[in-house]
Homo-oligomer: A and B are copies of this chain.
């Protein structure tokens, strides 16, 4: 395993020593027969090796980008160089040559190729240091999300993604040929996580969800990674809001602590955090928007995308928070499993968490009274005896405590944390209406 070899990020601790590093040939610049520079890439980044020996420089002939090499040299600190440390008086070992020129150039700071070309050559594009950093951050975000829930005594579950019936009544589901009959890909683990509350009380799941939406925008993916949580024995909806605030603060703080060099290199700015996020109702937001911008949404029930953007900018400026909570959504728009507010039956116990211009989390308290739930299903024109609802309803029929939870698309969170233009940049191999490869 080349156990004796260093990684590019470890050179600082070995100044003056003769060491060996290994990785992919990233660029080569041959200045003369007696001077050449090689930049080598490994999982930690880039490292420069300087060759001053004609024999060593000859070995670089015909070595294309991606060639697997190792290089020995003496580590020198270069305070003014592009690379703070480099290997000098290098000697080279060419391990496996690449015979084909790369279809896209990953050796420059920016990849100059259009979006579709980058997606088509994602296998190579991901080797670009910027791409590698994005998905390293994504891995850290996911790890810290798990760490939060593990530390708060939630139990992780894995619910099936093949389901017998489209459960939330949606038309936008993918159909599968399941041993000759129809089955479907789950749009969310909503029903399963609720079913698990009477077993583990507090559960979370990180898993795939599928949306057959006929939209191809910078906001849409057909296959996403969802974080879902559900918590039982709440006193009120405020418990769900408080857990969400603690979650968002924890994940941002911990990710930033672990990944700060990556995030700064990606041009990310640390989110403005406060312990309790500013909270505004839909109605208040309509009024504020009208007052501040003249745009009038006061007759709308839901938020306009322009309002999401506005309130996030307003919050950052006036409330020093990049997170903002919007509540007071109308009961008339609620899903059948939502809980109606007791003091004000016009609204649902629902809130959206907004982050840098978009909604990233929807959190609600759930209706847990079996008969009320049956009534709400019926009122929305669905049949509570439908086999797709039977098992879900059993969870309530046989005893459910007061509960609530949230769902969050991880790629969108990563996109906004880093500041990426398109959600597809935050998914390793994105799926949309056109694309199912690579």
Contact A98 B399 (CB under 8 A): yes
Given contacts A67-B399, A124-B398, contact A164 B102 (CB under 8 A): no
A177 contacts B by Cβ under 8 Å: yes
CB contact between A207 and one of B126, B155, B208 (< 8 Å): that residue = B208
Inter-subunit contact B127/A199 (CB<8 Å) = yes
User: Given that A123-B394, A139-B157 are known contacts, is A174 also in contact with B178, CB under 8 Å in the complex?
Assistant: yes
Cβ distance A190 to chain B, nearest Cβ, rounded Å: 13
Do B398 and A98 touch across chains, with their CB atoms under 8 A apart?
yes
Q: Is A307 an interface residue (CB 8 A)?
A: no
Chain B residues near A27 (CB, 8 Å)?
none
A96 cross-chain contacts in B, Cβ below 8 A = 368-369, 399-401
Contact A162 B210 (CB under 8 A): yes
A25 — which chain B residues lie within 8 A by C-beta? 399
Q: How many chain A residues have a CB neighbour from B under 8 Å?
A: 95
Q: Is B22 in contact with A398, judged by CB distance below 8 angstroms? A: no
Tell me whether B156 and A143 are in contact (CB under 8 A). Answer: yes
A253 within 8 A of B: no
Knowing A200-B132, A436-B183, the reply to whether A395 touches B68 (Cβ < 8 A) is no
15 contacts between A and B (CB under 8 A): A22-B401, A68-B399, A95-B401, A123-B395, A139-B157, A146-B146, A158-B225, A160-B430, A162-B174, A162-B210, A163-B436, A164-B436, A179-B212, A179-B214, A195-B438
User: Does A208 contact B400, Cβ atoms closer than 8 Å?
Assistant: no
Which of B43, B391, B428, B437 has a CB less than 8 Å from the CB of A159? B428
Residues 116-150 of A, flagged 1 when their CB comes within 8 A of B and 0 if not, give: 00000111101100011001100100110010001
Give chain B residues whose Cβ lies under 8 Å from the Cβ of A43: 155, 199-202
> Smallest Cβ distance from A155 to chain B, in angstroms?
5
If the complex has contacts A98-B397, A162-B223, are A135 and B157 also in contact, measured as CB distance less than 8 A? yes
Question: Is the CB of A235 closer than 8 A to any CB of chain B?
Answer: yes
